[in-house]
């Protein structure tokens, strides 16, 4: 089942912050975050595995809630290079799916000078 | 540098003429994935291999086949391409699965005349 991302699009000025959410109706094994620029391949940002986990580096971080049904990606002090489409990819709990991901519909982030 | 390489970057074929897309990896990863991505949509998993263990998604058309002759190479065969098969095809690899990131190739953009 496809996770739901919100918002669908965000427009920012450099230096502003944004939050992108990814929700599932079922508990997840993991959540992956990727950024894709137009005409390019998705680039891995981070994975969250544990309920309550938060990780990331200075300006891009993410959280995974205790029930493991929702994740949020936090972009702080945005830069022009952050522009692109952000996808969450979710792996379901249980089974032997070898990490196959179902991607959300994407959030288009545009950062203006 | 270790990487995922897709050839060709752009492929044009005629309606109904078989076409093969290739993917190679130097990461020595166990899992290889094929995704189809249409314009402004999320990547959609077609199938994946864990070593030689093949896993087909239920909604992948019969028109699409895959081969993985060895760890390094994986092929996507489209037996009779239709206009609806025009898309970006992305190959990705992962060391073992859901707790590991997926590394994407640059993709092959397929056009159907």
Q: Which residues in chain A are contacts of B107 at CB distance < 8 A?
A: 41
Among A29, A30, A42, select the one facing B43 at the smallest CB separation.
A42
Residues of chain B above pLDDT 70, percent = 96
| C-beta atoms of B42 and A42 within 8 A | no
Structure-token pair, residue A70? 């929702």
Interchain contact B42–A (C-beta under 8 A): yes
**CB-count exposure of residue A90 (10 Å: 0-12, 13-18, 19+):** buried
Taking the CA of residue B95 and the nearest CA in chain A, the distance in Å comes to 10
Name the one residue in this structure whose structure tokens are 């994946």.
B48
The angle subtended at Cα B9 by Cα A82 and Cα A33, nearest 5°, is 30
Rg over CA atoms, chain B:
13
pLDDT: which is higher, A58 or B105: B105
pLDDT tens digit string along A73-83?
A: 999 999 999 99
Q: Of the ranges A37-41, A96-100, B93-97, which is most confident?
A: A37-41
Per-residue pLDDT at A98 exceeds 80: no
Interchain contact B94–A (C-beta under 8 A): yes
Can you tell me the mean pLDDT for A29-44? 92
Least confident of A16-20, A41-45, A64-68, B17-21: A64-68
Per-residue pLDDT at A16 exceeds 60: yes
- Among candidate residues B66, B60, B73, the one with its CA nearest the CA of residue B20: B66
| C-beta atoms of A97 and B98 within 8 A | yes
Over chain B, what is the mean pLDDT? 93
Per-residue pLDDT at A59 exceeds 70: yes
């Amino acid at each position: 089942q496809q996770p739901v991302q919100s918002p669908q699009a965000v427009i920012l000025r450099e230096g502003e912050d944004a939050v992108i959410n990814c929700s599932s109706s079922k508990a997840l094994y993991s959540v992956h975050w990727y950024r894709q620029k137009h005409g390019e391949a998705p680039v891995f940002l981070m994975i969250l595995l544990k309920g309550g986990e938060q990780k990331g580096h200075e300006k891009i971080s993410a959280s995974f809630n205790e029930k493991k049904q929702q994740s949020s990606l936090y972009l702080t002090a945005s830069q022009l290079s952050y522009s692109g489409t952000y996808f969450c990819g979710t792996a379901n709990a249980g089974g032997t799916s070898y990490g196959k991901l179902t991607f959300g519909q994407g959030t288009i982030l545009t950062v203006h000078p | 540098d270790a990487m995922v390489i897709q050839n060709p970057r752009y492929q044009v074929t005629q309606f109904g003429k078989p076409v093969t897309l290739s993917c190679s990896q130097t990461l020595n990863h166990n899992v290889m994935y094929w995704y189809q991505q249409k314009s402004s949509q999320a990547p959609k998993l077609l199938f994946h291999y864990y070593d030689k263990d093949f896993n087909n998604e239920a909604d992948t058309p019969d028109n699409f086949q895959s081969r993985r002759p060895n760890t390094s190479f994986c092929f996507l065969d489209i037996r009779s391409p239709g206009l609806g098969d025009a898309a970006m095809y992305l190959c990705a690899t992962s060391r073992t699965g859901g707790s590991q990131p997926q590394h994407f190739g640059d993709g092959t953009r397929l056009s159907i005349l």
